[in-house]
Chains A and B, each alone.
Chain A
Amino acid sequence: MLLKRKPGAVEIKGFGNDIHIILSSEAPFSDIELELIDKLEKSKNFLAGTEIVLDPKDRVLSSEEMEKLEAILSSKFHLKIAAVRTDSSETIEAAEQTDGEIETPRQEEEKLMDEETKTAIIRQTIRSGQKISYPGNVLIIGDVNPGGEVEAAGDIIILGKLRGVAHAGINGDDSSEIIALELTPLQLRIANIIRRSPDSNSEPEHVPEVAKIKDGNIVIENLDKSRRGDG
């Protein structure tokens, strides 16, 4: 009887400290129940007492189904639903009867996207000891002096001279760029790559330049040429 079921109705995965139970959106609910019991049975020693996140993905769960899942998890295996991840309003309603929190991944993502595409405009010179940090792009109308720092999740554009430290793509976006009218920084950081200024004092270029990642290194290009090269 068990062989008739298609496997893959339920997946159990660890994300950091969380255990996620992911449900297939196609499998019949009865398969989900059976496979859930089956899988939990196998790893019950390992999972005992942990809090789990129920992630039905695109599957819509009715109150009845939610009740059944909760019964399996809490009554049978003593597992607590810490959160339910869903964007479906029906599933949210069903999830409200559990003790778990409701997470809405799509909304979170949109919010994050929104923040990442936002740009802060700062009209001031960033002086030694000052630090600007923003979850989107940063546009500075002024200089960034030695000892000053700017960090952004996205791009950093400086309508002035960059002489301090700039860190673009702090969350790991290696397509982020740093652009300045004069690029003579102490240090450039993009995503997790760092480039420091040369130890010899070279005469600054006095032209707008762009720093970006190419082949795993930060390279600096004349902004004009760089644009022509791209388009």
Chain B
Amino acid sequence: MDSMPGKSFVITSGKGGVGKTTITSNLGTALSLHNKKVCVVDADIGLRNLDVVMGLENRVVFDLVQVIDGECRLKQALIKHKKAEGLFLLPASQTRNKEAIKPEQMKDLIVRLKEEEEFDYVLVDCPAGIEHGFKNAIAGADEALIVTTPEVSAIRDADRIIGLLQAAEMYDPKLIINRLSMEMVRRKDMMDKEDIIDILAIKLLGVIPEDEGIIVSTNVGEPIVFVDNSKSAAAFKRIARRIEGEDVPIFGEVEQEGLIARLKKLLGLDRKEQQNV
């Protein structure tokens, strides 16, 4: 391995239940499939979830707060994934609360993961909300990935988060749209990705389609990335390739350039186009 420094991402949304934990787990898995050493960090102290979703709950002995408090070594707290080579989890504490750590401590911890443990990628699963837990989670991140679903309230919160990240001098967050149902978009019952980007005005990193398989995979604690023929798995893998620097077209861009999109453009209803004038 060369000495290229690793990169840390915070996966954040403002609103709860939009899929931060699922995305952290699956994106971590997908990146590890590129022969990269990946650490997923659960920053939701007091409400830990990431270990459950990844099927690693029974392996948790030490946690992030104990590492910061010096009760255990960093290596001891890292849990190796049972299936994905190079994928590690740093679990949150279930018994402490978010005030147990400070942003500077979190920052030091991420630096240690990148430098001492030589992780290529550190993904931090941010708790919902904009309070202390959010400030901890973004503290050590080089970049932010904003997750939203095509719902007005989720987009509103994502917008707020983008503003708060700006205030914290993180200016170039990327967007992941989760649970987009092309069927509903076609019926005009759901906002399309163009509408969402139009409001949030940040770069789109990927779109994950609505997929019932996700519920099954999180319940059994197996990342969906390992399931073949899953449409969401394909989307996660594409996002991983984009993070790796490959030029991969956004999911659905080709597929969706169908009748409606073309008609919209013809009629001048395509707002993105107008914005660029």
Binds A, one of B26-34, B54-62, B76-84, B154-162: B154-162
Instruction: Indicate if the CB atoms of A128 and B160 lie closer than 8 Å.
Output: yes
Asked whether A147 lies within 8 Å of B201 as measured between CB atoms, the reply is: no
Closest to B165 in A: A127
Interface members, chain A 115-130 (any B CB < 8 Å)? 124-125, 127-130
Give the number of chain A interface residues (Cβ < 8 Å).
Answer: 14
**Interface contact A128-B159, CB-CB below 8 Å:** yes
Q: Indicate whether A163 reaches chain B with its CB closer than 8 angstroms.
A: yes
Q: Is the interface of A mostly helix, strand, loop or mixed?
A: loop
- Option from B157, B159, B274 in Cβ contact (under 8 Å) with A206: B274
**Within the assembled complex, what's the spacing in Å between the Cα atoms of A135 and B124?**
42
Asked if residues A146 and B274 are in contact (CB atoms below 8 Å), the reply is no
Q: Which of B157, B160, B201 touches A143 (beta carbons < 8 Å)? A: B201
Instruction: Judge whether B156 and A147 touch: CB under 8 Å.
Output: yes
A145 pairs with B199, CB closer than 8 A: yes
Indicate if the CB atoms of A127 and B162 lie closer than 8 Å: yes
B174 shortest CB reach to chain A, Å: 16
- Name the A residues within 8 Å of B159 (CB-CB): 127-129, 145-148
Chain B nearest CB: distance from A184 CB in Å? Answer: 11
**The one of B157, B199, B274 that contacts A163, using a Cβ cutoff of 8 Å:** B199
Q: In the bound complex, do residue A147 and residue B199 qualify as a contact, i.e. CB atoms below 8 Å apart?
A: no
A contact residues around B157 at 8 Å (CB): 128
Instruction: Give chain A residues whose Cβ lies under 8 Å from the Cβ of B190.
Output: none
Contact B163 A127 (CB under 8 A): yes
Q: Point out the residues of chain A lying under 8 angstroms from B152, CB to CB.
A: 146
The answer to whether A129 touches B274 (Cβ under 8 A) is no
Q: Are B156 and A146 in contact (CB under 8 A)?
A: yes
Nearest Cβ on chain A to B160's Cβ, whole angstroms = 4
Which partner residue on chain B sits nearest A124 by CB separation?
A: B166
Chain B positions 200 through 236: 1 when the CB is less than 8 Å from some CB of chain A, otherwise 0: 0100000000000000000000000000000000000
Give CA–CA (A130, B156) in the complex, Å: 12
Q: Residues on A close to B: CB < 8 A?
A: 124-125, 127-130, 142-143, 145-148, 163, 206
**Chain B residues within 8 Å of A, Cβ to Cβ:** 152, 156-157, 159-160, 162-164, 166, 199, 201, 268, 271, 274
**22 cross-chain CB contacts under 8 A:** A124-B166, A127-B159, A127-B162, A127-B163, A128-B156, A128-B157, A128-B160, A128-B163, A129-B159, A129-B160, A129-B164, A143-B199, A143-B201, A145-B199, A146-B152, A146-B156, A146-B159, A147-B156, A147-B160, A163-B199, A206-B268, A206-B274
